[in-house]
Amino acid sequence: MKIYQSKEIKNIALLGNDGAGKTTLTETLLFEAGVISRRGRITMKNTVSDYFPVEQEYGYSVFSTVFHTEWNGKKLNFIDCPGSDDFVGAAITALNVTDTAVLLINGQRGPEVGTQNHFRYTEKLGKPVIFLINQLDSEKCDYNNCVERLRETYGQKVVQVQYPINEGPNFNSLIDVLLMKKYSWKPEGGAPIIEEIPDSEIDKATELHHALVEAAAENDDELMEKFFESESLTEDEMREGIRKGLVTRSIYPVFCVCATKDMGVRRMMEFLGNVVPFVDEMPKVKNTKGEEIAPDSNGPTALYFFKTANEPHIGGVQYFKVMSGSVKVGDDLTNADRGSKERIAQLFVCAGANRMPVDELKAGDIGCTVKLKDVRTGNTLVDKDCDYRFDFVKYPDPKYIRSVKPENEADSEKMIAAIQKMAQEDPTWILEQSKELKQTLIKGQGEFHLRTLKWRMENNEKIKIKFDEPKIPYRETITKTARADYRHKKQSGGAGQFGEVHLIVEPYVEGMEDPVVYKFGNQEFKINVKSKEEIDLEWGGKFVFINSVVGGAIDTRFMPAIMKGVMNRLESGPLTGSYARDVRVIVYDGKMHPVDSNELSFMLAGRHAFSDAFKNAGPKLLEPIYDVEVFVPSDKMGDVMSDLQGRRGMIMGSHSESGYETLQAKVPLKELSNYSTSLSSITGGRASFTMKFSSYELVPTDIQQKLMKEFEEQNTDED
């Protein structure tokens, strides 16, 4: 293969809802470019994309597929992304390492919630967008409705480059208003018959051509001036204007194809090769120091590894983008993240599971290698003269959590190792060993996401696992002041144990003044602050410990032990065993024994005194509240709002977005356990949501009583 320069390389992401036809389009693109000699079919399980067993089992894409084509002296790298929102991590990764997004739309369904979600990601990253309406031969295809809905959502930037003469099973021709030609196909598709536009279509084609010329001219002052003079542009001038409009996101061209019949795909390839921007025409990526790094083949070598695939008989296949310089077979590089040395023994360009060896790749290009010793997804390899690191891919927060454990406890370590390996392939699978909940948690983007992991564990790794509801990380606190004392005394021959602690507890709020006096009944307790410690707790909130003991009732050397006893109880609160927070403890008196007092005695006395005081201080449970944003079709808004309110959700607001509503709410985490499944059921899979931790708020009294009762019964059973 020819070694392509940065100015000859284009990187393109294929996005779209499940059912839009990305896998079929990939087959046709590769076939038209001569990379494969025969198009595979999803039903035959022989496509370039979706080649992993789990994808063939479930019939949907789980991983992105990297492939390339060579077209008219240019190299086009594509990343075909899963359509399901559960596998959004692959789409986000792809958009970060490519320069243009082709957003596929099912001609029968039109723009869907996935279209909106993917477009939002392109907007956030500033990537050019091309809309491609597919499946024009479908019975219910309505091209004009698709375009109208796109315009309603994205405005006049949506500009048609093509339109079909007829849709449905008889589709075989379209009008290209950029070239002002009619394209038609024989039943087998492939090479088009190019003719003049028939009289019956000339008025419509001329009107759309004029709109396209005007949209192209708006992106360049010289072109705009020429347009005003002659109201026309040459084909090359239009391409230049569209290219500049793509880079600035001021134009969203609309194309149409029938990928299954190979109609329109070749023309689409021509546009991608001739018009979409090269890698050196896009904004530069910043490294971790905030420096802009140009895709300069003469610069220092830096490879960013954005994807890992674990394949049978091969092991790890690592995919990378050359951010700077060039990489050759035999290069020795350093892992900028881990410090280890790596040799690039082999270089490949990709077409799914098929890999073609190459000797060198230049800046901006995408390739893969195998058998690296210590490279993880997100790492950067550099040469000795380079200190670049990259960390520009940001994934969404998880929204579906389950506790996970093997059916056979002996498989625990194997299970954890296998999940960690899978998380290299999909970083939105997050494994957490929760000390607080005493559970192993697996977090993902939805039920399908975790179901896929389970299938792979049981079928690929041969480890049977089971999912359970995760415990909720409640917090305990107090609402009023209370006092308690406790004497720990133990005598069992020889030296005994003795420690007595008197303390006061109260709620802590940031900035509160030191205590002076407390009244309990007819007793008054004056406080003389001798020492104070403020501790920011790992689990949030604060703990303040004040020593106010006078007259030597407790030796100062025992204070750390008392504080340790209180901290132990904070880590396992008296109500439900949850972490406690935002408490101030004042130790004001006590007793000790000249022989039997020791640190253990005072630690236990402090622990029990704090526990007794806590229970009398108006103890309350706090629960995690999440900000939830739901993106839902307008006709399902009422159902979704009712469901959220049934989950103790508080609706915070909403706004419309062309047939869709964005709904904001605050919802307790406990009520979100199965929300992704429920939302899909309510809306027929047409909605999506995000969730992010907001704050801890008081649990309703009835729920608190129920949780406390469950905790007491559990402890009784364990005893």
Q: Give per-residue pLDDT as tens, 350-404.
A: 887 788 999 999 999 999 999 899 999 999 999 998 999 999 999 999 999 999 9
The separation between the first and the last C-alpha atoms of the chain, rounded to the nearest angstrom, is 71
Instruction: Tell whether the model's pLDDT for residue 659 goes beyond 70.
Output: no
How far apart CA 364 and CA 298 sit, in angstroms, is 12
Per-residue model confidence (pLDDT) at position 163: 97
| Residue in this structure with the two tokens 């039920």, named with its chain if needed | 447
Relative to beta strand 360-362, strand 74-80 is unpaired
Mean pLDDT of the chain: 92
- What gap in Å lies between CA 622 and CA 543, rounded to an integer? 16
Return the pLDDT at 50: 65
User: Was domain 400-471 assigned CATH 1.20.1050.10?
Assistant: no
Q: What is the pLDDT of residues 564-608, one digit of tens each?
A: 999 999 998 888 999 999 999 999 999 999 889 999 999 999 999
Fold of 295-382: Elongation Factor Tu (Ef-tu); domain 3 (2.40.30)
Answer yes or no: is pLDDT of 624 > 70: yes
pLDDT at 719: 44
Query: How far apart (Å, rounded) are the C-alpha atoms in residues 572 and 72?
Result: 68
As a whole number, mean pLDDT of residues 255-274 equals: 94
CB atoms within 10 A of CB 236: 9
As a whole number of angstroms, the longest Cα–Cα distance in the chain is: 112
- 407-445 burial, b for 16+ CB within 10 Å, e for fewer? eeeebeeebeebbeebbbbbbbbbbeeeeebebbbbbbb
**Helix H or strand E segment including 171:** none
Q: What is the pLDDT of residues 475-507, one digit of tens each?
A: 999 999 999 999 999 877 667 899 999 999 999
C-alpha distances out from residue 673 to 395, 399, 402, 430, 439, Å: 20, 9, 8, 16, 16
The percentage of residues in the chain with a pLDDT greater than 90, rounded to a whole number, is: 75
* Percentage above 70 pLDDT, the chain: 98
Distances (CA, A) of 222 to 104, 232, 234, 239, 247: 33, 13, 13, 14, 17
pLDDT of residue 47: 75
With respect to CATH, is domain 7-195+249-281 assigned 2.40.50.140? no
Residue with tokens 């609402």: 479
Predicted local distance difference test score (pLDDT) of residue 212: 93
If you average pLDDT over residues 183-200, what whole number do you get? 94
The tokens describing 478, both together, are 């107090």
Domains 7-195+249-281 and 476-613 belong to one CATH topology: no
Residue 206 to residues 145, 172, 200, Cα–Cα distance (Å): 20, 21, 12
- Considering only residues 30 and 495, tell me which one the structure prediction assigns the higher pLDDT: 30
Domains in the chain: boundaries: 7-195+249-281, 295-382, 400-471, 476-613, 621-702
Contact 673, 648 (CB under 8 A): no
Cα 158 versus chain centre, distance: 28
DSSP collapsed to 3 states, 82-151: CCCHHHHHHHHHHHHHCCEEEEEEECCCCCCHHHHHHHHHHHHHCCCEEEEEECCCCCCCCHHHHHHHHH
Mean pLDDT of the region 707-716: 84
pLDDT at position 336, please?
95
Assess whether pLDDT exceeds 50 at residue 628: yes
Distances (CA, A) of 380 to 240, 290, 385: 35, 15, 14
pLDDT in tens, 132-149: 999 999 999 999 999 999
* pTM of structure: 0.87
Residue pair 176/161 in contact (Cβ under 8 Å)? The answer is yes
Place of tokens 């890999």: 355
Range in 56-70, 243-257, 454-468 the model is least confident about: 56-70
The CATH architecture one would assign to domain 621-702 is 2-Layer Sandwich (3.30)
Q: What is the secondary structure of 184-232 as a DSSP string?
A: E--TT-SSPEEEPPPHHHHHHHHHHHHHHHHHHHTT-HHHHHHHHHHS-
Pairwise CA distance, residues 429 & 377, whole Å:
13
pLDDT at 670: 94
Tokens at 43, concatenated? 């039903």
Give the C-alpha distances (Å, rounded to integers) separating 122 from 128, 256, 274, 694: 7, 20, 21, 26
Residues with Cβ within 8 Å of residue 584, at least 6 apart in sequence: 505, 506, 507, 508, 512, 515, 543, 544, 545, 546
Three-state secondary structure call for residue 540: coil
- Is residue 40 scored above 90 in pLDDT? no
Task: Please name the fold of domain 476-613.
Answer: Ribosomal Protein S5; domain 2 (3.30.230)
